[in-house]
Structure 1
Amino acid sequence: MKKIVTFGEMMLRLKPQENERIIQSNQFSALYGGAEANVAVSLSLLGDHAQFVSKFPDHAVGQAALGTLRRYGVDTSQVLLGGPRLGIYFFEKGASIRNTSVVYDRAGSSFAVSKAAEYDWAQILADADYFYFSGITPAISAELTQAILSACQFCVNHQIKVICDLNYRGKMWTPQQAQATMNQLMPYVDICLAHDEDFEASLGIKAFDGDMSHGIEQKDDFISGMKAIIAKYPNIKTVASVLRNIYSVEDSQWMALMIDHDQVFETPIYQIHVWEGVAAGDAFGAGLIHGLVKNYNPQDCLNFALAASVLKLTISGDLNLVNEKEILEVMNKQNGMRMMR
């Protein structure tokens, strides 16, 4: 079985009840999540060997986070223990014209203060087939940027595929900082995921005008941006993107594009009523990786990834708690509105 290693931070997620605002709520539900951890859980639920690499505090909260990963079958044998705390983020679910928002409290976490030298990539990646990281992790610290760089260099020397989701976060760094850092890492990447503002903020490549109400109509611009990534970094053979028309927090249309070895692929458009709009990009990435692991053809790989992504929009929390059969049913439009008995 092929092995996928993901590297990043898992955090405690605190969410007010229902659609309450943070400033009014006196109760918060507690869950755990984080981009690379979300991908690992999705892959494990799809039957793949997913290993998550990070650093957690060695106390009850850290153990609870570890327990979440283990509950869904993720390999946590390379999670380091120690340091002061687990990062936290507060998730405020939007409604109608009020956007969903996030407040980070992650400074000084065990992962954020960890050093590049703590991660023994020769041991961690010894039997890996894929290495996955997102742009969130190098945004945390220079040490973690160096850790990713070391991992990528090992991968290139040992024929391990590197997958990067640009995943730009404006609350964590500026476009100038992101571009300076990502330009160091992209020469090692084989497969790049780029959505919406990722192109310009992370790589300085124009592909999207910023208006989320008509992303799908900008398909040609996205394709041009994807081709520009491949031209700038010829080591990258595959670029995939999700395009969206967002009309409100609850209602939107989704489709996806991919360039794979110079061929362009696209999915049908899904009309979606969103329950919770978080981590759908992570679900997309996991779906794409699963398709690669299973040797799907490029079109099926992209269709599967988008079906996984839109299913995540119907599930609360960070984790895409669906299996391969459920994704295939959406992808092949077999389930419709039937009750599953």
Structure 2
Amino acid sequence: MDYCSAGKMDALYSLGIPEYMGVDNELIYYYQEIQKRFPNISILYSTKREVISASSNQLVGTLWMDQTYYESQVHFMDPIMDRVGGGDAFSGGFLHGILVQKAPQEIINFATAASALKHTVHGDCNQFSESEVESFLAAGSGKIIR
């Protein structure tokens, strides 16, 4: 059982999968095509980022697990302090969710929240604890929690 962090661009340019021409969710197509070529991959995950400006982005996490597609809520990041390490924080959050046996929707929510929080600090290390990420998710934003 293998896990793969890959999205549309990886499917197109690294794996040579033909471009999706349909109207439904294109990531489902790419995830299914990757699994056809690599049946040992049981889980695929990635992020979708909408770049509004250099310091303002929207981030959504995606997960393909047990032939089901999951998406996190949208995280609007403005201002971004530092993008470096955001992908590592996402993958770390994903692996944490797998290790503690969270449900798939919880896994992708946690991973994406960990990445969004990482964007708020300088440096390439996610310095937020599990409880801080969970509190951020529970509040639904970066509101102060008392």
> TM-score, structure 1 length as denominator?
0.39
Distance 2:83 2:18 in 1: 25
Percent of matched pairs sharing the same residue: 31
Equivalent position of 2:14 in the other structure: 202
Distance change (3 Å), C-alpha of 1:270 and 1:225: same
Q: Is the 8 A contact 1:291 1:301 kept in 2?
A: yes
1:248 and 1:335 map into 2 onto residues whose CA distance is: 20
CA deviation after TM superposition for structure 1 residue 220, in Å: 1.3
Figure out how many residues of one structure are paired with residues of the other and give that number: 143
CA positional deviation for 1:253:
0.8
Task: Write the mapping of 1:87-102 to structure 2, written as runs, cut at 5 A.
Answer: none
The match for 2:39 is: 234
SS in 2 for 1:197: helix
- The 3 A distance-change label for structure 1 pair 332 and 322 is same
SS, match of residue 204 in structure 1: coil
Paired with 1:238 and 1:193, the residues of 2 have a C-alpha distance of: 8
Cα offset for 1:272?
Answer: 0.9
- Structure 1 residue runs of 5 or longer lacking an equivalent are 1-160, 162-189, 209-217
Give the SS at the match of 1:237: strand
Q: Deviation of residue 281 (structure 1)?
A: 0.9
Secondary structure, in 3 states, of the residue corresponding to 1:192? strand
CA displacement at 1:312 relative to structure 2: 0.9
Asked whether 1:332 is paired with 2:138, we answer yes
Matches within 5 A, 1:122-133: none
Paired amino acid for 2:13: A
Q: Find out whether 1:303 has 2:115 as its counterpart.
A: no
Q: 1-side partners of 2:19 and 2:72: how far apart? A: 18
**What's the CA shift for 1:327?**
0.7
Give the distance between the partners of 1:303 and 1:193, measured in 2 at CA. 16
Equivalence for 2:54: 249
Q: 1:290: which partner in 2?
A: 96
Check the 8 A contact 1:207/1:222 in 2, yes or no. Answer: no
Q: Which amino acid aligns with 2:70?
A: F
Question: What does residue 67 of structure 2 align with?
Answer: 262
Once residues 277 and 206 of structure 1 are traced to their aligned partners in structure 2, the CA distance between those partners, rounded to angstroms, is 30
1:304 and 1:331 in contact (8 A); partners too: yes
1:5-37 alpha-carbon deviations (Å, 9 max, x no partner): xxxxxxxxxxxxxxxxxxxxxxxxxxxxxxxxx
- Displacement after TM superposition at 1:334 (Å): 5.6
Q: Which amino acid aligns with 1:192?
A: C
Give the Cα separation in 1 of the matches to 2:100 and 2:85.
23
- AA in 1 matched with 2:16: G
Matches within 5 A, 1:117-266: 190-206=2-18, 220-266=25-71
Aligned partner of residue 247 in structure 1, secondary structure: strand
CA contact (8 A) 1:243 1:254 kept: yes
- Give 2:128's aligned residue: 322
CA-to-aligned-CA distance 1:82-141 (integer Å, 9 cap, x gap): xxxxxxxxxxxxxxxxxxxxxxxxxxxxxxxxxxxxxxxxxxxxxxxxxxxxxxxxxxxx
- After superposing on structure 2, the runs of 4+ consecutive aligned residues of structure 1 that deviate more than 3 Å are none
Aligned-pair Cα RMSD in Å: 2.1
The structure whose RCO (Cα within 8 Å, separation 6+) is larger is: 2
Deviation at 1:266, TM superposition (A): 1.1
- Cα deviation for residue 222 of structure 1 reads 1.8
Check conservation: 2:118, 2:126, Cα contact below 8 A. yes
Secondary structure at the counterpart of residue 128 of structure 2: coil
Q: Max radius of gyration: which structure? A: 1
